[in-house]
């Protein structure tokens, strides 16, 4: 299916001095005026909304300032994924610039579970003497009982989170979450670290107002945006509006590799120098950070990002690399078994896939669900036994444009706990509720697919591309669309009736080829498309994206196949 650009393409092409093909890509992103184009192509930090528009932001800042005056210790309570670890590192570092006593805790996925828990509050209580201030990052919005426990234990509590509220919100001293119904902040798609960033923006301003800092010697908050970019992209937040501003600037900071932990992580990933893209975050940096939490050692990733010394950062990065290798092997084994279950469920006509095996490693269930989504183009949930509680728990990922959080919420009678957002959820249930849950989930998803006639396998093509249009300036312009990702996807192009050359199979499953566009021959790859080797001996229609890469200092432009079909 090919989308059509709006009539504004000619106007934008003339005013921006770009090709009409380039302007057409802007129009496909809803950009039709010069002002919209300038905001998109050159997002400015000055355009970020006022953090005081958040509900409870003023109250939270006032409470932190009171903690400074009364010399209360602070515990930052994070989460074990990339977003949560980045948010923890960001807030801990900033609060320490205020000469506060700051401790941090990131729960162990395998033994503690997700979010603020009774045992986690006990751990925090052993770190500091009360009265003290507990600040959650990337969690806490559903911790009704636990916040009450923390308050009873002598903590003042600030909840910062971005997950969907489930009716009541905790009775904390302040709750900062853009998804609250009565929150005045104009953008609800922030990551957990994005919410934490706006907290330090507001706190910095208050400290300047109070005379604690002068404007010229206050911390430069742009230096924290590398962490914001990492967490926002890794958590698959929409890369539009406020997030586009934050991530675009954050990628500039990442490129400098000035944070010791980022420098060491890039060294391990073979990214010593050169540009860093949102795709690099998703596939090269984030999996390494996530590996620590998945394998039950999130403190390694936190140490990495908080490291002030290169040698400490190098040691943590090397440990992460080992954890990531172990994670990949565990993941590979579980995915193979999960695929067998999925094939049976697809044959039965299931519209949502739920895979379960008691002894699967709980730390990789989220990524297993992602792999199933990618392969079968259906919402998927992967489950394993929770040995501590005797229940089963797991993670889910969405497909087909389904709001997975709402779907699971409609099946909540069969669940003990659940949380998350549209694209990803976590849940626990009793074993004897599994079949009822599967039936309810399939009913919900089936109705939505029937109503919307969604087809996740359909390829949306932005433009047909001829050799004449694929000029070096056009290919270069594509970089201005970055960062690409959720809600700002990479443009997909189509060439029809073309002949691929130098075709071969790589690693038994991937298709390697070359494609000529105009006067330039591009190397190409089709991941998982090795079975199409016979088809591409004849003329084909190729849907593809254009990639700018930098591997070990070598810059190149390649094409990546999205779909291939015989030319009719």
pTM of the full structure: 0.87
CATH class held by domain 349-452 = alpha beta
Q: Do domains 349-452 and 459-566 have the same CATH topology?
A: no
Nearest C-alpha neighbor of 424 from the set 42, 164, 101:
164
> Quick one: fold of 51-223?
inorganic pyrophosphatase (n-terminal core) (3.90.1640)
Predicted confidence at residue 8, as pLDDT, reads: 84
Residues whose CB falls within 8 Å of the CB of residue 383, separated by 6 or more in sequence, listed in order: 354, 355, 356, 360, 365, 392, 393, 394, 434
Tell me the pLDDT of the chain (568 aa) as tens digits.
444 444 788 999 999 999 999 999 999 999 999 999 999 999 999 999 999 999 999 999 999 999 999 999 999 999 999 999 999 999 999 999 999 999 999 998 888 878 899 999 999 999 999 999 999 999 999 999 999 999 999 999 999 999 999 889 999 999 999 999 899 999 999 999 999 999 999 999 999 999 999 988 999 999 999 999 999 999 999 999 999 999 999 999 999 999 999 999 999 998 988 889 999 999 999 999 999 988 889 999 999 999 999 999 999 999 999 999 999 999 999 999 999 999 999 999 999 999 999 999 988 999 999 999 988 989 999 999 988 788 999 999 998 888 999 999 999 999 988 888 888 899 999 999 999 999 999 999 998 888 764 554 567 899 998 878 888 899 999 999 999 999 999 999 999 999 999 999 999 889 999 999 988 999 999 998 999 999 999 999 999 999 987 666 677 889 999 999 999 8
Strand 554-566 versus strand 520-526 pairing type: parallel
Give the integer Cα–Cα distance in Å for 256 and 226.
Answer: 9
Ranges of each domain in the chain: 1-42, 51-223, 349-452, 459-566
Predicted confidence at residue 1, as pLDDT, reads: 43
CATH class held by domain 459-566 = mainly beta
Nearest C-alpha neighbor of 550 from the set 252, 285, 281, 275:
275
Nearest C-alpha neighbor of 393 from the set 107, 112, 84, 77:
112
Nearest C-alpha neighbor of 138 from the set 167, 160, 106, 171:
160
């Amino acid at each position: 299916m090919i989308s059509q650009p709006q009539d504004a393409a000619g106007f934008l092409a003339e005013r921006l001095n770009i090709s009409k093909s380039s302007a057409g890509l802007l129009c496909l992103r809803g950009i039709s005026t010069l002002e919209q184009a300038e905001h998109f192509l050159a997002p400015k930090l000055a355009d970020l909304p006022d953090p005081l528009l958040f509900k409870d932001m003023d109250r939270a800042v006032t409470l932190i300032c009171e903690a400074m005056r009364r010399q209360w210790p602070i515990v930052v309570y994070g989460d074990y994924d990339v977003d949560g670890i980045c948010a923890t590192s960001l807030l801990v570092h900033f609060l320490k610039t205020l000469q506060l006593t700051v401790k941090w805790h990131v729960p162990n996925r395998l033994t503690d579970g997700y979010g603020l828990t009774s045992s986690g509050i006990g751990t925090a209580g052993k770190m500091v003497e009360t009265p003290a201030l507990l600040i959650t990052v990337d969690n806490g919005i559903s911790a009704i009982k636990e916040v009450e426990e923390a308050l009873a234990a002598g903590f003042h509590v600030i909840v910062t989170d971005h997950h969907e509220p489930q009716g009541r919100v905790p009775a904390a001293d302040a709750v900062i979450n853009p998804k609250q119904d009565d929150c005045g902040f104009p953008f609800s798609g922030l990551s957990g670290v994005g919410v934490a960033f706006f907290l330090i923006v507001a706190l910095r301003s208050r400290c300047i107002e109070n005379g604690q800092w002068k404007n010229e010697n206050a911390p430069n908050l742009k230096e924290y945006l590398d962490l914001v970019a990492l967490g926002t992209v890794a958590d698959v937040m929409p890369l539009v509006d406020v997030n586009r501003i934050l991530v675009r600037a954050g990628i500039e900071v990442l490129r400098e590799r000035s944070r010791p932990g980022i420098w060491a992580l890039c060294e391990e990933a073979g990214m010593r120098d050169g540009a860093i893209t949102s795709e690099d975050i998703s596939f090269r940096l984030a999996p390494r950070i996530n590996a620590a939490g998945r394998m039950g050692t999130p403190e390694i990733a936190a140490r990495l990002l908080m490291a002030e010394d290169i040698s400490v950062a190098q040691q943590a990065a090397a440990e992460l690399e080992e954890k990531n290798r172990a994670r990949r092997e565990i993941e590979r084994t579980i995915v193979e078994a999960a695929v067998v279950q999925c094939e049976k469920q697809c044959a039965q006509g299931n519209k949502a896939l739920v895979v379960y095996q008691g002894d699967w490693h709980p730390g990789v269930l989220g990524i297993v669900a992602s792999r199933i989504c990618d392969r079968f183009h259906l919402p998927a949930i992967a489950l394993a036994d929770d040995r501590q509680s005797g229940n089963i728990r797991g993670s889910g990922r969405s497909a087909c444009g389904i709001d997975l959080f709402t779907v699971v919420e409609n099946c909540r009678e069969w669940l003990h706990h659940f949380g998350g957002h549209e694209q990803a959820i976590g849940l626990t249930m009793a074993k004897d509720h599994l079949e009822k849950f599967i039936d309810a989930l399939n009913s919900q998803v089936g109705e939505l697919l029937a109503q919307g006639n969604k087809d996740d396998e359909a390829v949306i093509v932005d433009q047909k591309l001829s050799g004449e249009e694929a000029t070096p300036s056009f290919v270069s312009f594509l970089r201005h669309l970055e960062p690409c990702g959720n809600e700002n996807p990479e443009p997909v192009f189509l060439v029809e009736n073309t002949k691929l050359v130098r075709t071969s199979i790589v690693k038994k499953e991937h298709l390697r080829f070359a494609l000529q566009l105009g006067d330039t021959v591009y190397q190409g790859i089709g991941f998982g498309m090795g079975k199409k080797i016979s088809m591409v001996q004849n003329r084909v229609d190729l849907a593809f994206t254009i990639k700018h890469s930098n591997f070990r200092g070598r810059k190149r432009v390649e094409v990546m196949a999205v779909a291939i079909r015989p030319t009719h």
